[in-house]
Amino acid sequence: MKLFPKSFLWGGAIAANQVEGAYLEGGKGLSTSDVQPKGVFGDVVERVAGDSALKDVAIDFYHRYPEDIALFAEMGFSCLRVSIAWTRIFPNGDETTPNEAGLAYYDKLFDELAKYGITPLVTLSHYEMPWGLVKQYGGWGSRQTIGFFERYARTVFSRYKAKVKLWLTFNEINMSLHAPMTGVGLPENSRKEAVYQAIHHQLVASALAVKACHEIIPDGKIGNMLLGGLMYPLTCKPEDVFEALQENRSWQFFGDVQCRGAYPGYMLRYFRDNGICVEITAADREALTSTVDFISFSYYMSGCVTTDEALNQLARGNILSMVQNPHLTSSEWGWQIDPVGLRTLLNMLWDRWQKPLFIVENGLGAKDKVEADGSINDDYRIAYLNDHLVQVREAIDDGVDVMGYTSWGPIDVVSASKAEISKRYGFIYVDRDDNGNGTLARSRKKSFYWYRDVIASNGATLK
């Protein structure tokens, strides 16, 4: 029987803006997430007194974290991925002194995890940045934002160095190409050149955070975080194959910079061919040489690439404009389910970077039905997770170094793309609907017991 390594970290992943709520409590400032009530692709809405959005309360993790962490512990989690809301620490982003109430909150959160021996894996920026930095400086379009981020990173490294040893810089850093406001604080219709310049600033900031982490927490490890957007050629036509290579490079490029410490040649050519001029200073080049210790990524689906323009037209409007794969089925939200793709991706990334890999998001968003007796029989979720974990085990057997697996949304959260809660990922159900009605009470789904057994057996119960 193939097992997972003894040191394998098992758990779940959540993000501050999708769970905490309390969006103005404890001196917190407004973030880009707070002004996008309709989700990461949504319009920016200036907040006015008295208005409300689902994420304002989310699942109230800010107040209920002890109960939720007790439930994660009951499932046997050895790891929980969380993010720090930058705006709890620096509400406007450009302050010189951090907000003590925000720092104290995460102290309590990490202490609670320590009580159960759960290792925190902490993302510095998960789909949010201070709205103040966007309004006053133009977000990551400004070089000054690098310094503000570095101050924030150094502040939290120094404060939590004894409690947090595993860190991630920017969540799905490659998403900026599809959602510039969420990724880099730029308007949706920004020119490509402006987006790549902002991305460059963020890559430099990520490298400076790596350097700071190594200085401040010598026994710590820091990784990047990529949206693992695996693309297949739709046919074996050589042009389709090359197109798929390029499409994969459009996101792997972020990892190339973060793992190898410099821009790859294919990207410099892309800039040249498209008349994109990115200012990269000598100091930037030097900064980029601080490379990550490990690579983390999310994986939900795969997609296909074609050079057939008619098919591409049809695909526009799909998530990331991917062409459908006729060999796969899809979730209710049209995300194509591909467990073997996860094994392929793990092998691909290991071959490419030879650094440990951490799957920090994977899961099935689905509508759950609460039965009359209160039970929730989410066999579809169990099947999805089982099939993906079987492929993770195969990849480990292939020789890939996999540090751990944190499934997305171990408790129902507000979705990132649409800001709805009816798209549920959890092992734990939260009584709340898309209109904000419900008691917020937590209950265990069938998958709760399934995941508990998988963890306890270190994968032996997988089928």
Where does this chain bind ligand BGP (CB under 6 A)?
Answer: 15, 18, 127, 171-172, 227, 298, 361, 365, 408, 415-417, 423
Burial status of residue 260 (CB atoms within 10 A of its CB: 0-12, 13-18, 19 or more) = middle
How long a stretch of residues is the chain?
463
Q: Using CA atoms, how far apart are residues 321 and 44, in angstroms rounded to an integer?
A: 22
Cβ closest to ligand BGP, residue 287 vs residue 364: 364
Cβ closest to ligand BGP, residue 71 vs residue 168: 168
25 is catalytic: no
Closest Cα partner for 391 from 450, 423, 347, 356?
A: 347
CB of 238 to ligand BGP, least distance (A): 32
Are 225 and 123 spatial neighbours (Cβ–Cβ below 8 Å)? yes
Q: Produce one character per residue of 133-162: b if its CB has 16 or more CB atoms within 10 Å, e if not.
A: bbeebbbbbbbebbebbbbbbbbbbebbee
CB of 17 to ligand BGP, least distance (A): 8
Q: Produce one character per residue of 25-56: b if its CB has 16 or more CB atoms within 10 Å, e if not.
A: ebebbbbbbbbbbebbbbeeeebeeeeebbbb
Q: Produce one character per residue of 100-110: b if its CB has 16 or more CB atoms within 10 Å, e if not.
A: eebbebbeebb
Cβ closest to ligand BGP, residue 9 vs residue 13: 13
Cβ closest to ligand BGP, residue 234 vs residue 322: 322
Q: Which of 188, 193, 361, 420 is catalytic?
A: 361
CB of 417 to ligand BGP, least distance (A): 3
* Tokens coding 322: 């991917």
CB of 127 to ligand BGP, least distance (A): 6
Cβ closest to ligand BGP, residue 212 vs residue 322: 322
Closest Cα partner for 94 from 32, 16, 146?
A: 146
Helices 192-216 and 144-160 pack at an angle, to 10 degrees, of 30
Are 167 and 106 spatial neighbours (Cβ–Cβ below 8 Å)? no
CB of 358 to ligand BGP, least distance (A): 14
CB of 191 to ligand BGP, least distance (A): 24
Are 54 and 420 spatial neighbours (Cβ–Cβ below 8 Å)? yes
Cβ closest to ligand BGP, residue 98 vs residue 223: 223
- Report, as residue numbers or ranges, the catalytic residues: 361
